[in-house]
Amino acid sequence: MHLHVESEGKGRDVVLLHGWGMSGKCWDPVFRGLAQEFRVHRVDLPGHGSSGHCSGDWVEVLAQAFPSEVSLCGWSLGGQLALQWTQRYPERIGRLALVSSTPSFVSREDWAHGIPEGTFAEFADALESDPEATLKRFLFLQARGGEDAPGIFRKLQDCLERTEMAALKKGLDLLLNSDLRKTAQSVARPALVLHGECDRLTPLAAGKWLAENMPDGKLEKISGCAHAPFISHPGGFVSKLTEFFDEY
């Protein structure tokens, strides 16, 4: 399959992985800022943007595309993929940044920091009946609670590109079924958890759990920020990420 990757800059390699329903275009506000210090690669996940769909293992597709050492920055679903990539190939990952990420997107018997499974199922049903309206609702949830929510919502809308329905469904399946708490506890690479204090989609408590339970994790909270800090607070995002990756 064809995996679309846009690369820019020089230095250590940093791979950016976007969230559900989006594409590498979402990194526009920070892409060139990060490329001042690093060789930055923004990926369209399978079936998103300009990448072909793949019904197989997305983590393996990504790992095969970058066989040499890289550092990873994953947002939301991209963070879950980055966690699994790091667990499988720790010798090929320098540092790991998890943005607005959670080990479990849905609530479980012993996990209170997720969305109720019934609510998630309703969302999946709505995607089948009205994909455009459901994607807009998802963007609204990402912007809600933070500073200038209407403005962030519009910027997120501008980032939408073509996503195949099969890829949207596979992404939802991954979010529904992934419980990566044991994975996170086994990942010993230096990890930065960047999380908005106002995130209503993946609550700050999930980010705190990751930072406290990963062997070498630390949390950076962003005040006034909801689910997309690289869009709402691009300057601070680039600064925090650059400082973290420069420590390596």
Q: So which residues are the catalytic ones?
A: 76, 199, 227
Sheet holding 70-75, edge to edge: 5-8, 39-43, 13-17, 70-75, 93-99, 191-196, 217-222
Q: Which of 138, 150, 142, 215 is nearest to 182 (CA)?
A: 215
Distance of alpha carbon 167 from the chain centroid: 15
DSSP E strands, the chain:
5-8, 13-17, 39-43, 70-75, 93-99, 191-196, 217-222
Give the number of other CB atoms < 10 A from CB of residue 179: 14
- Spatial contact of 243 and 37, defined as CB atoms under 8 Å apart: no
Residue 133: alpha-carbon gap to chain centroid:
22
The answer to whether 75 touches 100, Cβ cutoff 8 Å, is yes
Q: What is the DSSP letter of 48?
A: B
